[in-house]
Chains A and B, each alone.
Chain A
Amino acid sequence: MSDRLTILSPTGHLGFTPIERGSFEIGVARRPDAIVADSGSCDIGPQPLGADERCSPEEWQRHDLELMLLAARGLGVPMIVGSASDTGTDRGVNEYAEIIRDLARQHGLAPFKLATIYSQVSREELARRLENGVHVDGLDGRPRLTTETLARTARLVAVMGVPIIRALDEGADVVIAGRSSDSCLFAAPAIRAGFPEAASYYLGKVLECASFAAEPFMGKESIMGTVTRDTVSVTAMHPGQRCTVASVASHAMYERANPFFEHVAGGALDMTHCRYEQVDEQTARVSGFAFRRDPVYRIKLEGAGKVGERALAIAGIRDPYTIRHIDAVMAWARSKVEDRWGPPGQQYQLYYHVYGRDGVMGPWEPRRALPAHELCLVVEAVAPRFEDAEVICALATRNLFYARLPEVKGTAGTAALMMDEVLRGKAGYEWTVNHVLPLADPLELITVKLEVAGG
């Protein structure tokens, strides 16, 4: 076994916006042992998973995959991509695999082994387990999963751990994986090469978002991680960025409720006693991490279900008197909707987003009593049928125009309509499943396929 392994991380979300080429090429010139990127996140909301759609243009996904594929094949090192096409469903894995096959043909690449790893879970499979008395516990305060919640779920993925090791064992040169823990993508080749789990998962944790672990703030720049038995060093590849003690330590807590533990399938990385030191201007080194294995192997499940079709409209308010009475204006418009459709609930949902007052923060806005001199109202209506959402949205918007205020001077209309038009939004979805499922075998819900591409 070699005493160190290096991994190049070019992006925190493949395809979300294109990878920056300069720092990537600097990284490739340093000949890493693997090139790894995550392509998905639950940050993008439940719609892409629920509707099984990508959230980024295929052209950008292809751009990033092409850069990584050509560099990895040129160096003869593994390329690993997880949470394919934003959601990591089977559709995403198949689409990415097809892009890889296509790029291999287009560039006349010599034959290589392409692994695809699937982790989508069918509703029937999960229903069977629930019927057999399996406890699927909720995360972050959610109750245990019920058949009713499952029935509201359109699609589910299991967030896999390190089955990538299995694919690498079988000689995979390129791995396209379904939904994965970000850190596991990077940990897998390190664990397979014999490095301890603690160091391997820390390597994954620090590399998963690429340049977000460096300073100053820049997106889509490459960073490089080096793992030894008991340390992880991380180096910024962009000449203007540095990985510092502060930037790396603060990244440990990024996007997580607790800065000390990173939970992955089968256990947790414990960062309580991590030590950070500056090695050179662009590199920080970390040690002191530990890995705590769970007594029962559990895998995270993500699921999204459809709430309804969505219609949107936009209105502006400039009259200071109307702005002072904006709640009364919205109450009037709501009442006109309720006259015809009844109170919101099962049949429809209606939201006014008041930009210029509390459009971003809602009830968390401490300054909502100090609205701006002009307000933008985005009216959002959701109903089972788009035709109904459209009508409700139009009614809720036009009545902003007709609101009856006792002392209004501008009697020709109490709102500026950007256009007298209702827009069709993507359907409304919600996260129905954020739970953990116990498994007897980590590979139970995972399928690994291998093929030869190129040549």
Chain B
Amino acid sequence: MKRAADPSGLDPFEDAATRLKAQRMGMWLFLASEAMIFAGLFVSIAVVRVVWPDGAVEASARLDKGIGTANTAILLTSSLLVAIGSAAAKAQTPRKGLVAAAFAGAAGLGLAFLAIKTGIEYRHEFHAGLIPGAGPAFPIDTPGAELFFNLYLAATGLHAIHVAIGAAVLAGAALAVWRGWLKLPANAPEVEFCGLYWHLVDVIWIFLFPVLYLVN
């Protein structure tokens, strides 16, 4: 028996259900490994909090809880939109307009998050000398405070990169659904996977926020 009929040789699956199961599992494993990237940072931050509690508290007090809370609210809202969009994509009569609008809205909120984070928060911190580099010297002497702040910068910076990637993915998905490059319901899993990525970005922030901003 010749299999030349499948010249790409790309599909090892005999049926669509198994293929979908495999794709979903692959996506979850990818998300798990993404989460482990942040796990390393979480553990480091936890260590600082245990070993230098005073430094951690003092450093955390310098973070702007108001901005942090606002950004948390923004991401939560965006996740809600993504959930609505994914559900609409999977619905029996998918509404592509709703999917596109929800995803585009979530991407927009992602950009808002980035604007606040880098444009306002990082800028203030830089001027206060809290961020290493060309600005004024680091203002707190308590041991551990500077390390806490540097880890804050590393964790939120890496997270911001993920937000940017996620927003691009959502925007791309919104466009693809709107223009019909991704067909519904056939491509609903792809749409769902884009949404899952965003949820991961959101969940990571939900952990980062208390660990960094709410130390006392």
A and B assemble together: no
